[in-house]
């Protein structure tokens, strides 16, 4: 596994939800001169996705090379074929990740765009209208989806470009020599750490050398935390090591707060509830966000460590799917993201420890059954590597 390697001198802008993200993304696409790579889990059939699609088509008409990767599961088979035809007629290259599970049970859950090797976008936002549920039901949300992305310029961009370009090339059916070279790390630019602002690092999870990189980045941050750790995730079902990391940080006096999305999937909520008692006893504060769909995968530890990305705190993100986060060491950025998370906490509902001391037996049975089912499925999918 490659260690986290920071580059300095980056400029990073935090983008909150679609109202900030999509105008910035489309503006960058419209200004593109040479090349665009876009990789996303969901590319929806709605007005927001159409606006991004039209921007990509305008770029292609300017003779910009446009390469788009969409995930087969996230985007859906029918929409994947529709996009392929629409992009083909517009002279946009399009590749579908893992159609019919030919690469095993894995998805690209990453959300990345790189424009002219100069500007990169990365985070949790799919190409979808954030006023509607992203589970295929098209259910209107009471408020825009709570999510984050970042816009990056600076020396980290070539590293992100190399990652998405490598994904594109691998999907094109490259030979075993290329795959071996990538495994050995020769296709990943190495960066030197620096004390100059803004320091940032790309942290990916794949099924080659980076199987535990995102998890270990979180564990290191929790293990060295001195004052506080604020973590937000829509799905909470981590393995034993991360749960232990949260509990140990809280026991040594760190103010650990989990902001968890609830209400989208009943079984997912039950699995998360099964972990609440031990975490609450250790002193972890748990807040459930119910205002709208929480989709952000963000965290702030102490005053200068922050991360934004695509990785949930669940078995699929941590052990199966391909993910991408950026870790940022910068006080001003951490403070800005902290303010957003703290606002989300104020809008949420705190879970009281007393509520889980005498949980009705029927609820305990449901939580336990859901947890057992989830763990069993993850052990199969992750080939026995789901850590308890």
Residue from 111, 161, 182, 340 carrying the catalytic annotation: 111
Residue from 16, 109, 161, 273 carrying the catalytic annotation: 109
Closest CA to 143 of 351, 293, 309: 293
How wide is the angle at C-alpha 248 spanned by C-alphas 246 and 252, nearest 5°? 120
Active site residue 116: yes
Residues 6+ apart with CB under 8 A from 77: 99
Residue from 297, 314, 330, 340 carrying the catalytic annotation: 297
Residue from 30, 45, 302, 303 carrying the catalytic annotation: 302
The CA-atom distances, in angstroms, between 206 and each of 171, 187, 216, 323, 325 are 14, 14, 14, 7, 12
Active site residue 129: no
Closest CA to 284 of 293, 271, 297, 275: 275
End-to-end Cα, the chain, rounded Å = 21
- Count Cβ atoms below 10 Å from residue 262 Cβ, excluding itself: 21
Dmax (CA) of the chain: 65
Two tokens, residue 69: 């990767």
What pairs with residue 163 in β-bridges?
none
Active site residue 297: yes
Residue from 71, 295, 314, 330 carrying the catalytic annotation: 295
**Strand runs (DSSP E) across the chain, as ranges?**
11-16, 35-40, 65-71, 93-97, 112-115, 119-123, 148-153, 199-205, 228-233, 255-261, 285-289, 297-301, 305-309, 323-329, 349-350
Burial class (CB in 10 A: 0-12, 13-18, 19+), 3: exposed
Q: How far apart are CA 258 and CA 321, in angstroms?
A: 22
Cβ(150)–Cβ(14) below 8 Å: yes
Active site residue 295: yes
Residue from 116, 244, 278, 291 carrying the catalytic annotation: 116
Active site residue 109: yes
Cβ(247)–Cβ(241) below 8 Å: no
Q: How far apart are CA 36 and CA 28, in angstroms?
A: 10
Place of tokens 């994947």: 80
Task: List the catalytic residues.
Answer: 109, 111, 116, 295, 297, 302
């Amino acid at each position: 596994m490659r260690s986290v390697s920071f580059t300095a001198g980056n400029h990073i802008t935090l983008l909150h939800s679609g109202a900030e993200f999509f105008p910035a993304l489309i503006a960058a696409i419209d200004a593109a001169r040479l090349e665009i790579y876009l990789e996303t889990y969901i590319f929806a059939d709605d007005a927001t996705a159409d606006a991004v699609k039209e921007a990509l088509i305008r770029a292609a008409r300017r003779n910009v090379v446009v390469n788009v990767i969409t995930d087969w599961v996230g985007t859906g088979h029918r929409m994947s074929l529709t996009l392929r035809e629409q992009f083909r007629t517009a002279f946009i290259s399009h590749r579908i990740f893992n159609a019919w599970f030919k690469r095993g049970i894995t998805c690209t859950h990453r959300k990345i765009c790189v424009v002219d090797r100069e500007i990169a976008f990365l985070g949790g936002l799919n190409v979808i209208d954030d006023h509607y549920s992203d589970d295929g039901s098209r259910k209107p949300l009471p408020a825009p989806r709570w999510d984050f992305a970042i816009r990056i310029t600076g020396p980290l961009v070539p590293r992100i470009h190399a990652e998405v370009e490598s994904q594109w090339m691998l999907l094109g059916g490259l030979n075993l020599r290329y795959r071996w070279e990538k495994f050995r790390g020769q296709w990943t630019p190495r960066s030197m750490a620096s004390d100059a602002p803004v320091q940032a690092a790309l942290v990916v999870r794949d099924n080659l050398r980076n199987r535990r990189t995102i998890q270990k980045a979180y564990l290191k941050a929790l293990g060295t935390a001195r004052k506080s750790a604020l973590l937000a995730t829509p799905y909470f079902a981590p393995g034993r090591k991360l749960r232990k990391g949260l509990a140990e940080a809280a026991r040594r006096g760190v103010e650990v707060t989990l902001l968890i999305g609830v209400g989208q999937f009943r079984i997912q909520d039950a699995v998360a509830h099964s972990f609440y008692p031990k975490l609450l006893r250790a002193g972890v504060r748990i807040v459930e966000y119910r205002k709208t769909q929480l989709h952000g995968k963000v965290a702030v530890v102490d005053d200068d460590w922050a991360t934004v990305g695509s990785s949930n705190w669940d078995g699929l993100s941590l052990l199966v799917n391909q993910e991408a986060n950026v870790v940022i060491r910068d006080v001003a950025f951490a403070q800005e993201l902290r303010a957003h998370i703290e606002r989300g906490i104020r809008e949420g509902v705190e879970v009281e420890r007393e509520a889980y001391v005498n949980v009705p037996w029927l609820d305990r049975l449901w939580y336990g059954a859901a947890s057992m089912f989830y763990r069993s499925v993850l052990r199969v999918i992750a080939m026995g590597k789901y850590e308890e």
